[in-house]
Amino acid sequence: MNHRNAGFGQQLMILDFGCTEPALARVFKLAQLPPMHNSRPRVLCLGWPTEPAVLSDLKELAEIAHVDSIPYQPRADMIRAIERHAEENGPYIATMLFFSPELGMVGPCDAELLKALGPGCKLYTGPGAGYDKVDTAWMSRMGASYANSPSAVAEPTGHATCMLILMALRGMSANEMSARAGNWLGKRKFGQVLGEDSRGKVLGLVGMGSIAKVTDAPANYIYHSTLESLLAVTDVLSLHCPLTAETRHLIGDAELTIMKKGSFVVNTSRGAVVNEAALVRALKSRHIARAGELYYPILHTEESRKNSDFEDSPALDVFEHEPQIHPFLLKCPRVTLSPHCAAMTRSAPIGMDREIIENVRQFLYGEDVRNAVTGPLSMFQDV
C-alpha cells in the first residue's frame, strides 16, 4: 500500500532534519585494523541469535574474526560478564547487540554497561532504527561509532503507518467497537463514524529517512524549512524523526494549535516526540479529534460532532512513558492502542540481526558502514 494508491493526490509536505546535502567526506576512515590477539580482530556478541540464516552469517563472520558471546542477563550480571570478557579476551574492536525481548532487562546501552569495552571498541551496532536508549555521546568520546539496522524495520513500519493513517481517516476503531457490540450501520449506540476521504489531503512528513520513504509519496512534494510552516498546511502529519534532545516534545500545545481543525497526526517514531499531556488536552478540547496507532490524531467536522460520540478516537503505538499509558488514552473508547509493535513482523527480527552482522562485516573490510549514524564512521543520516 502506498499513499499514491490511497489517494493523497494534492501535495506532500516534508520537513527534513539536518543537512540536505551529502557530507563531503567521512571524518574517519578505517585504513587497517589495529593489532589483535592471534592476528584476527575480536568481535563481541551481546545475546545470541537462533535463526539459521543469522547463524550462517555469523559463521561467515567468524572466518575473519574471533566471535565471542555473552547471553543477555540482568544488568548487574551483564556488566560483570562484559568486564570479565574484556579483561580475559579483549580488546574487542566491535560489539553487536542482537535483538531479543531479553534485551530490555539489560537497560540502556551506556557507559555504565559498556565502559570495559572502550576505548578499544570502535563500532557498536544494535537493532532497529531508533537509538535513543544508546549513549552515542559516550561512544563518540571513546572514538567509536554506532550503527543501527533501519532497513529491516523500514517496510513493516512504513506499511503500518499507511494502515494507521487510513484507519484514522475512516474512524475504524470506533466502527469496529460498534460491530463487536452487535450494532450495525444506522444504530447510533456506539456512534458509527463517517470517515474522511484521503483524496485531496495534504500529507506532511517530519523526517525523510528509510521508514518515511516506504510511504512511496507522490512526486509533487515541497520541502519546508520550518516545522510551523509545515503544520499550517498539513492535513495528515506523520512523524519519522529520531528522538533526540532537539526532538523531544517536538509536538506540543503550540504546535497542535497551529494545525488545522480536522487534521491527523501519526507518530511512528518515538512517543516522547509528542507531548502526551498536550495531545490529551487537544483531544479533550476537540481541536484534535482522533489519533492514530503509532500516533495519529484526527479532527472531524462540526456535523460529525453532532452525530457521533466517537469522532476523536486516537490510535497509538508509541507512548511517552512506555510501558505506562496516559489514563485518558486508556479509558477513552475513541482511542486505539497497540504496544509499540508497528515494526514487529515475523521476519523483522531476523532482518535486524543480519543487518547488524553486515554492519560489522563492512567495518572489518574497511568499507563504508552505511548504517553508521553517530561517531567517526558516520556522516549525517536520518531515520
Please give the positions annotated as active site: 270, 322, 340
Cα(345)–Cα(351) distance, integer angstroms:
10
Neighbours of 371 (CB within 10 A): 24
Quick one: which H or E segment has residue 244?
none
- Dihedral sign of CA atoms 10, 15, 21, 26 in order: negative
Identify which of 94, 147, 144 has the alpha carbon closest to the alpha carbon of residue 376: 144
Q: Strands (DSSP E) along 7-149, which ranges? A: 11-15, 42-46, 66-70, 94-97, 123-125, 145-147
Q: How far is CA 249 from CA 211, 245, 275, in A?
A: 20, 9, 5
Q: Name the pairing type of β-strands 372-374 and 145-147.
A: antiparallel
List the grid coordinates of 67.
Answer: 566471535
Neighbours of 13 (CB within 10 A): 24
Distant-in-sequence, close-in-space partners of 140: CB < 8 Å, separation ≥ 6: 374, 375, 376
